[in-house]
């Protein structure tokens, strides 16, 4: 509606033309001062480094998962009567490995991009302490869960019944 107009602009007004020319030449000067060879070389270098980090961590993940799986398969064969406990610790080990690997992967990517990871870790540490103080019940539950796993109170495949909460069922995963 506002784009359609029947009025024309008088190009004889040199003030408007001069301002537009100055703005255009300022942009041209800015674009000409950029070292495009350096920009593209940095983009290619960072891109290849990130690609190498992705491939490296993918391989580490595959090899680590394979080694953990093989280790627990051997343990299952040795101790056949405790297979559910081994399965529970296997799932817990896989989770710990995955989260640790993801942390180092994220650290590597951010470091490659030039983001100061040290200050981020310091901030995360302070935030972790604050959250930890606020979530003491959650931390207590995690520690209790760890002892439940270690003392073999509940394993994957066990049938449990919580009468106070009217809940019952089979444990599908722990950790």
Greater model confidence, 27 or 1: 27
Which range, 24-28, 130-134, 141-145, 168-172, is most confident?
168-172
- C-alpha Rg value of the chain to the nearest Å: 30
Q: Is 36-170 CATH 1.10.287.1260?
A: yes
| Statement: the pTM of the whole predicted model exceeds 0.75 | no
Structure-token pair, residue 124 = 């995360």
Task: Determine the pLDDT at residue 1.
Answer: 46
Task: Determine the pLDDT at residue 164.
Answer: 84
Mean pLDDT across the chain, nearest whole number? 81
Query: CA triplet 57, 61, 67: central angle to 5 degrees?
Result: 140
Query: CA triplet 83, 88, 91: central angle to 5 degrees?
Result: 120
- The residue among 172, 8, 27, 30 whose CA lies nearest residue 91 is 172
Domain ranges of the chain: 36-170
Please name the helix (run of DSSP H) or strand (run of DSSP E) that holds residue 159, with its range, or none: strand 159-162
Task: Determine the pLDDT at residue 90.
Answer: 85
Q: How confident is the model at residue 81 (pLDDT cuts 50, 70, 90)?
A: low
* Residues 154/175, Cβ–Cβ less than 8 Å: no
């Amino acid at each position: 509606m506002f784009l359609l107009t029947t009025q024309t602009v008088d190009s004889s007004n040199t003030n408007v033309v001069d301002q537009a020319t100055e703005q255009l030449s300022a942009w041209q000067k800015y674009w000409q001062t950029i070292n495009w060879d350096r920009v593209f070389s940095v983009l290619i270098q960072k891109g290849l480094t990130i690609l190498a980090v992705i491939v490296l961590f993918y391989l580490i993940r595959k090899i680590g998962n394979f080694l953990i799986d093989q280790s627990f398969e051997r343990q299952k064969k040795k101790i056949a009567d405790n297979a559910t406990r081994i399965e529970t610790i296997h799932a817990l080990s896989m989770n710990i490995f995955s989260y640790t690997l993801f942390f180092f992967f994220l650290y590597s990517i951010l470091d490659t991009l030039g983001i100061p990871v040290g200050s981020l870790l310091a901030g995360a540490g302070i935030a972790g302490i604050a959250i930890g103080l606020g979530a003491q019940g959650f931390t207590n539950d995690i520690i209790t869960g760890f002892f439940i796993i270690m003392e073999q109170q509940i394993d994957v495949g066990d049938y449990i019944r919580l009468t106070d909460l009217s809940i019952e069922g089979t444990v599908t995963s722990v950790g």
